[in-house]
Amino acid sequence: MESYNSFTTAKRQISEAAKILNLDEATLQLLSEPQREFTFSLHVKMDNGKTKIFRGYRIQYNFARGPAKGGIRFHPDETIDTIRALACWMTWKTAVVDLPLGGGKGGIRCDPKTLSQRELENLSREYIRAAAPFIGVDKDIPAPDVYTNPQTMAWMMDEYETIVNNHQPGVLTDKPTQVGGTLGRRDATARGGVITVREACKNLGVDPLSKFAVQGFGNAGQRAALLHHEILGGGKLIAVSDSRGAIYNPEGFDSNELVTHKLKTGTVLGFPKSKQIAHEDLLELDVDILYPAALENAISKDNASRIKAKIICELANGPTTPEADIILNQKGIYVIPDILASAGGVTVSYFEMVQDKYSFFWDESTVNQRLDQKLTTAYSRVHEAIKEKKIHPRLAAMVVGVARVAEACKLRGWV
């Protein structure tokens, strides 16, 4: 399979949107590069008494609409270009759902699976010691991402508060509720995606109770499987996959039992009445709705022509390459792009920021209701752009997001 540079892909998407919006060259240049980049050398004392050096990053892509917002990843293959791309996409994601935020992303090149709990805590605190001057509730608000979680955020928040000698729970989001986290955050990304699927089914006349598949059965994938039934009223889950393999049953799986099996065994493999299939075969199954919830570039020009789903809901970041987008659009497959489909997470993170500022917290039904309203409105605006500009959904979402950021840049006098 051909390899892709995620940031090259992201810049290509910006250029395509800029042409439709007739943006001037200065604005295009401003939107095509991060406003700030930081690289850190992190010195961590390991359990064996030795010090190990890790490389950390924080990219603050754009501040025109508000402080930067985006996750922190712990991954052995982390690259600066991947983080640039993700920070870029976060900029459009916050704009598409009309949040008063910019885009950012961070990461540490490490293999968290080889680190003890104490080493993970030391690494998390060291990252904040390096990044503290550049983050804050009105500067840049990180959150979890790949291989980080609410516990990571609690350590980081505590370290930041120690440094500034002040209570600042809103400096990081997706924290445990006991230290300023919000209800409704655990399933927010998946819930937002399923809400957009609901709206797409209405517009396209697709039966939401038919077959669907989930690629990537981590947090977002598991919750999408559960929420598909809750929000859409049913549906038949016939295939799922995780890093160890993929399973299939044309008669459908019980989502609750499958999630329990995954949490108990660490994999979907071995689930009763399932047949193991190749990872790539899952994407090409005859389903109406497909949820890619794994890593980047899963759908490329190599396999796009064989995909049969009517609706693809991108819960992962960048799962579809630009070449694949064109092929899927020509086939009449409706892609709900990641900057819309997975925006539920950052939306509820924003709700958490608001609640932290006021020290007043909402019940879960209020969070879910406001998330539904935000995502439904955002989906409607993107769908309007599809019809107005006669363009495919990803480009329409980019046009909506880029237009809002470009307008903020012009109003500020940056261009």
Catalytic residues: 105
Task: Give strand pairing partners of 311.
Answer: 289, 334
Q: Are 44 and 122 in contact, with CB atoms under 8 Å apart?
A: yes
Length of the chain: 415
Which residues lie below 8 Å from residue 281, measured CB to CB, with a gap of 6+? 246, 248
Alpha carbon distances (Å) from 296 to 300, 322, 369 = 10, 12, 30
Cα 143 to Cα 72: distance, rounded to the nearest angstrom: 6
According to DSSP, residue 136 is labeled: B
Sequence-separated contacts (24+) of 10-15 with Cβ below 8 Å: 10/84, 10/85, 10/88, 10/89, 10/318, 11/88, 12/322, 13/322, 13/394, 13/395, 13/398, 14/88, 14/398, 14/402
Read off the tokens for 373: 């309203």
Question: Is 329 strand, coil or helix?
Answer: helix
Rounded CA gap, 344 and 268, in Å? Answer: 25
